[in-house]
Every structure is written in C-alpha cells, then in structure tokens.
Amino acid sequence: MITASKLPPSSTIELDNLDDLSLEIDQFVHYCVRSKTKRLIDISGAIVGLTITGIIAIPLYLIMQLDDPGPLFYKQIRCGLNGKPFWIWKFRSMIVGAERQKHLVKNQAKGHIFKNENDPRITRIGRFLRRTSIDEFPQFWNVLRGEMSLVGTRPPTPDEVKNYCSYHYKRLQVKPGITGEWQVNGRSQINNFEDIVRMDIDYQNKWSPLYDIKLILKTIAVVLTRKGAY
C-alpha cells in the first residue's frame, strides 16, 4: 500500500519543447523514482546493453549504408519524468527525411499516437531492427544518463502530451522505460492510446523491484519470439 509518506512534495513543472509547447503540471512523483534498487538495476542493465550496442554498431552501420545510406542513429524529442524533454536515441529504422513524409502515411492508431503496420518509410534493415527491438538498444544510453529506466511507461512525444486529458498526466510521474506493460502485452499491435495509458498506470500501481525484474524477463522472451512486433 502506498502511503503519503512515500510520496515527495508536489511540484509545478514547465514543459518546453521544439514545438513551443508550454504546460504547467502540478503532480506527485511516484516513489519508485527514489528507489536505489531500481536505479542499480538500471545502471547494471545499461552497462550490459551499451556493451552489446557497441559490438553491433559498426556492422549495422555498414549494412545500413547498403540499404539506405545515412546516419546510424535517429534522435527525437520525448517527454520524461514530470514532462521534462530529452533526446531519445534509436538505431535509424526509416529512410532519411522520414518525418517530412509523415503526413503522407495513414495513421492506423486511435488517440494521440501514430502507427502504421505497413509504413513505407521503414527500410528493409529497419523492419528487422523493429521486429527484434534492436532499434531500441541506443536507449541504454538514456537509461545510463538517468533520463529513462529499463522498465517504465511508454515515452510520449510533446505532441501527445499537449493533447493529454487530466488523468493522462499520471504517466509522467515515473521515468519512461525501454520496456513496460505495453511491451510484454502486445507491443506494436496495441493501437489504442487509452490502452497504453491504462497499462502505464497499472504498472505504477503494481511496481516493485521484483516486478521490474519480472517484466525484464518477460520482455526478453517476447523479443526472442518476436511476438507482437512489426
């Protein structure tokens, strides 16, 4: 049971991003953010993950140049704890200049998210990276920096946040994660924003260090079987 003593004082924060979004949100920070055990798990996992990322980066870059020449990494503004903007890193899985062509692709999702199962902007190597979740590996750097956690809520974009209803802001009370409830319960097949919100809030209600470990193990199993990915 969560008691008031486990929660830090509420704070008013301002969210500014490249789209000139400015919001003031008065909310609590979930007590898992203060957990030293969770942070230790994050640092340990990030070191292992970055080691693997370093090993595969060069051969992946060479393959990528044969498929669609361009940068190895892709970065995008996302909203973290208390809505604080940060650069999230991924291995590039789309063609160069994909954002400029976004308006040409139909959104198959409901709510404040964008998804298309057959998005033509995804490269051949990019589709493999997404199905195996290898495109997410550079986010271990975000975890090491403390901007993300191994397990948390899905990291939203500023465009999503500026359209939030009041109860959606609870998602910002924890650090976003590389994995979470949505990752082990459908992944890319979840096309309804409200389902993601429900899972993110459910994660906060269930949180414990052991629950994080459970989700990490389930994520490994889901990734190996490529269940729910496209």
Examine the pLDDT at 17 and tell me if it is beyond 60.
no
Lowest-confidence region among 98-112, 115-129, 192-206: 98-112
Residues 6+ apart with CB under 8 A from 28: 7, 8, 10, 173
pLDDT of residue 148: 98
Residue 104's pLDDT band, with cuts at 50, 70 and 90, is confident
- Across 10-24, 47-61, 160-174, the highest mean pLDDT is recorded for 47-61
Residue 115's pLDDT band, with cuts at 50, 70 and 90, is confident
Average pLDDT over residues 125-134: 93
pLDDT of residue 18: 42
pTM of the model: 0.83
Q: Which residue has the higher pLDDT, 191 or 134?
A: 134
Residue 129's pLDDT band, with cuts at 50, 70 and 90, is very high
Residues 6+ apart with CB under 8 A from 21: 15, 158, 159, 161, 162
pLDDT of residue 24: 47
Examine the pLDDT at 164 and tell me if it is beyond 70.
yes
Examine the pLDDT at 153 and tell me if it is beyond 60.
yes
Residue 228's pLDDT band, with cuts at 50, 70 and 90, is low
Average pLDDT over residues 154-173: 92
pLDDT of residue 108: 73
Examine the pLDDT at 55 and tell me if it is beyond 90.
yes
Examine the pLDDT at 26 and tell me if it is beyond 90.
no
State how far the Cα of 122 lies from the Cα of 96, in Å rounded to an integer. Answer: 10
Average pLDDT, the chain: 85
pLDDT of residue 46: 98
Examine the pLDDT at 22 and tell me if it is beyond 70.
no
